[in-house]
């Protein structure tokens, strides 16, 4: 393990080998050379160190493979690295998996968050100045909207429907309870659906890009009428940076780009873009659309109001959706090896080998 000295801050980022976490780690490691960034990740099926290849040797970066539920290990990391800030992204994140295996979601998302909170409380011991515990959450905790133009606000009552959103809602409440009960300086943000490079190909956008490329069916749940509000992942990472540094203790901020799309319309955009970039005639892949049985409890519509974040902290998305989707499709087409390593299971050997050689 490398020695890092004279760092201004020591920040524990959990889940940094996942989709959003890898963008946050990359942003903090490159933008803040005087911060020590400790990436704590269990490397579940969703964690992939190849997502961070470009910064893995940076002098201000340390990777630790551990489970956030392992309280003793988490506690010792706080001491070992004198952690003064936490940006907590580690979670089980896929709704369909939560329907099959809710226990794992309760364990990681609820108990894992509690383990981190307790370790922070224990280590900081009431000296809150300069400390920050920032919990990354989802707009799915607010439940489902109708097609009536309404939006989720920071004050919207929680109404989670899936085991995933129920577990995230519970963890949000624990974070707020630590603020209200012990005075811990906490932040919670609830963000809309993210898309962009390095997303695990079980989620709609990377799964469908890969299937179109390989001429495989595109399983659209129900009638494809459900609406999601999409944000480019790098804009989410920028928002996390802004909020971590300038957000007010104890506050909640919604993050979103006012960018609602029906699933079926997204699928058509993906087909058009992939076909164009592969040089196929327009409409070539439309026959791949396959309507399948709907997801149980499928939330109809998500739409987030992020006005508070814009007016109070000045954050706005930097990319229009058309630009973001074009970049994203190009990235997946240009990184077929990254995708193949996942679909073949090869990526899981990468860190096993790395650990064996230490």
Active site residues: 139-140, 164
Nearer to ligand NAD among residue 288 and residue 309 (C-beta): 309
CA distance linking residue 81 with residue 2, whole number of Å: 12
Dihedral sign for Cα atoms in the order 26, 260, 310, 84 = negative
Which one of 4-12, 130-138, 243-251, 298-306 is the stretch in contact with ligand NAD (CB under 6 A)?
A: 130-138
Q: At closest approach, how far in Å is the CB of 276 from ligand TYD?
A: 22
Crossing angle of helices 321-334 and 336-343, rounded to 10°: 70
> Using CB atoms, what's the residue nearest to ligand NAD?
18
> Does residue 108 bind ligand NAD (CB under 6 A)?
yes
Q: At closest approach, how far in Å is the CB of 19 from ligand NAD?
A: 3
Nearer to ligand NAD among residue 15 and residue 185 (C-beta): 15
Judged by beta carbon distances under 5 to 8 A according to partner kind, the member of ligand TYD, ligand NAD, none in contact with residue 213 is none
Which of positions 254-283 make contact with ligand TYD (CB under 6 A)?
Answer: 263
Which of positions 195-224 make contact with ligand TYD (CB under 6 A)?
Answer: 203-204, 207, 219-221
Judged by beta carbon distances under 5 to 8 A according to partner kind, the member of ligand NAD, ligand TYD, none in contact with residue 271 is none
> Does residue 44 bind ligand NAD (CB under 6 A)?
yes
Judged by beta carbon distances under 5 to 8 A according to partner kind, the member of ligand TYD, ligand NAD, none in contact with residue 197 is none
Q: Is 257 helix (H, G, I), strand (E, B) or coil?
A: coil
CA distance linking residue 87 with residue 120, whole number of Å: 12
Nearer to ligand NAD among residue 47 and residue 285 (C-beta): 47
Reference 252, options 170, 176, 333, 198; nearest CA is 176
Beta strands in the chain, from DSSP E residues, in sequence order: 9-14, 35-41, 61-65, 85-88, 132-138, 186-191, 193-195, 218-221, 227-232, 252-255, 260-262, 289-292
CA distance linking residue 243 with residue 239, whole number of Å: 6
> Does residue 137 bind ligand TYD (CB under 6 A)?
no
Helices (H), 247-334: 263-278, 307-313, 321-334
Judged by beta carbon distances under 5 to 8 A according to partner kind, the member of ligand TYD, ligand NAD, none in contact with residue 226 is ligand TYD
> Does residue 136 bind ligand NAD (CB under 6 A)?
yes
Q: Phi/psi at 140 (nearest 5 deg)?
A: -65, -20
Size of residue set near ligand NAD by CB under 6 A: 31
> Does residue 226 bind ligand TYD (CB under 6 A)?
yes
Exposure string over 131-156, b if 16+ CB within 10 A, otherwise e:
bbbbbbbbbbbbbbbeeeeebbebeb
> Does residue 191 bind ligand NAD (CB under 6 A)?
yes
**Binding stretches for ligand NAD (CB under 6 A):** 14-15, 17-21, 41-44, 46-47, 67-69, 89-93, 108, 112, 136-138, 168, 191, 193-194, 200
């Amino acid at each position: 393990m490398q020695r890092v000295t004279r760092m201004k801050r020591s920040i524990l980022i959990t889940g940094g080998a996942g989709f959003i976490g890898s963008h946050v780690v990359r942003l903090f490691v490159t933008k803040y050379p005087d911060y020590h960034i400790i990436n704590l990740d269990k490397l579940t099926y969703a964690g992939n160190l190849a997502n961070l290849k470009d910064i893995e040797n940076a002098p201000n970066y340390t990777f630790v493979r551990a489970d956030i539920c392992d309280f003793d290990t988490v506690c010792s990391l706080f001491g070992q690295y004198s952690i003064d800030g936490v940006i907590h992204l580690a979670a089980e994140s896929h709704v369909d998996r939560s329907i099959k295996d809710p226990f794992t979601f309760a364990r990681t998302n609820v108990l894992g968050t509690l383990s981190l909170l307790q370790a922070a409380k224990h280590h900081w011991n009431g000296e809150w100045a300069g400390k920050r515990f920032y919990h990354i959450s989802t707009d799915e905790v607010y439940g489902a909207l109708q097609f009536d133009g309404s939006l989720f606000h920071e004050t919207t009552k929680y109404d989670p429907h899936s085991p995933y959103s129920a577990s995230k809602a519970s963890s949000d409440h624990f974070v707020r309870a630590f603020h209200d009960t012990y005075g811990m300086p906490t932040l919670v943000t609830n963000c809309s659906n993210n898309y962009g490079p390095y997303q695990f190909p079980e989620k709609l956008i990377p799964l469908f890009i890969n299937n179109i490329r390989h001429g495989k069916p595109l399983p659209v749940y129900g009638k494809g009428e459900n609406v999601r509000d999409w944000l480019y992942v790098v804009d989410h990472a920028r928002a996390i940076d802004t909020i971590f540094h300038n957000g007010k203790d104890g506050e909640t901020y919604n993050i979103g780009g006012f960018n609602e799309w029906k699933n079926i319309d997204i699928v058509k955009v993906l087909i058009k873009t992939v076909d164009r970039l592969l040089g196929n005639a327009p409409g070539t892949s439309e026959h791949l659309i396959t309507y399948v049985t709907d997801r149980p409890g499928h939330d109809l519509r998500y739409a987030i109001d992020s006005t508070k974040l814009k007016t109070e902290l000045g954050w706005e998305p930097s990319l229009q959706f058309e630009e973001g989707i074009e970049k994203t499709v190009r990235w997946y087409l240009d990184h077929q090896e990254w995708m193949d390593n996942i679909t073949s299971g090869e990526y899981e050997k990468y860190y096993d080998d790395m650990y064996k050689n230490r």
